[in-house]
Amino acid sequence: MAITSPRKPIVAPYFLRDLSEGIQQLMYFWGLDVIHPEGNFLIEQGFDRSPSKGIKGTSCYRRSWQNGYIELYGSCAGWYGCGNGFAFIRPKRRCSIWLSDSVTPIPGDWQDHLIDKSATCEELYLASRPFLDWLISYEEAVLKRFGGDYRMQNYKDYQRVPMAKSWIEPVDALGWFRCFRERPDKLERARRSQ
């Protein structure tokens, strides 16, 4: 009988922590895109804005994407479709498989029963791909419209936010997200900028 070694996972757990840190940083940037002097770039990119179902005085941005939809709040971001989804919940500082496509996270009331706590790293990676496709496409649109200096200024602004932990510079971050999506076997740890 041949002995086989266990298959190496597609994505190690520490890459999912890097992914969470990267999304958290981008959420700050997306907030700046909403108040851009030339207009709300999320709206320009096809999002509809509505009042938050949770925290009063905040908004939800939603748009169709890959047989589902992207939904963005100040405290969570995700893709929901095909019976489940992928969510990053900022107060929990983690990415999760979301177990519904019709009920999405409500900021302040996280519906923990809809978070898959037993998902493997591989399952979470596979669930993240539609969201990553949107994230990469959106960040490329930002670069095309505003140039690299805009995101770099966002990054510098983020570094001045009390309690915020900047991740990596925007140009490196976009490369990291692309590699995570397309070639996770070639992925390296994100190294924080100093």
| Chain CA centroid to CA 9, Å | 21
d(CA 134, CA 157): 24
pLDDT of residue 194: 43
Nearest CA to 33 among 170, 172, 181? 170
Query: Cα separations (Å) of 144 from 38, 122, 151?
Result: 14, 32, 11
Beta carbons of 128 and 27 less than 8 angstroms apart:
no
- Per-residue pLDDT at 192: 58
pLDDT value of position 8:
57
Cα-flanking dihedrals φ and ψ of residue 68, to 5°? Answer: -165, -145
- Amino acid 3: pLDDT: 52
Q: Are 76 and 89 in contact (CB under 8 A)?
A: yes
Distance, in Å, from the CA atom of 104 to the CA atom of 129, rounded to the nearest integer, reads 18
Question: What does the alpha-carbon distance between residue 30 and residue 44 come to, in Å, rounded to a whole number?
Answer: 13
What tens digit of pLDDT does each residue of 38-56 get?
Answer: 999 999 999 999 988 877 7
Q: Which amino acid is at 47?
A: F
Dihedral-angle region of residue 113 (phi above 0 means left; psi in -120 to 50 means alpha; beta otherwise): alpha
- Please tell me the predicted confidence (pLDDT) of residue 110: 86
Give the pLDDT score at 189: 86
| Phi and psi at residue 38, to the nearest 5° | -85, 0
Instruction: For tokens 């969470």, name the residue.
Output: 20
Which residues of the chain carry a pLDDT beneath 50? Answer: 1-2, 4-6, 194
What pLDDT shows up at residue 5? 44
Strand boundaries in 82-151, DSSP class E: 84-89, 94-98, 115-116
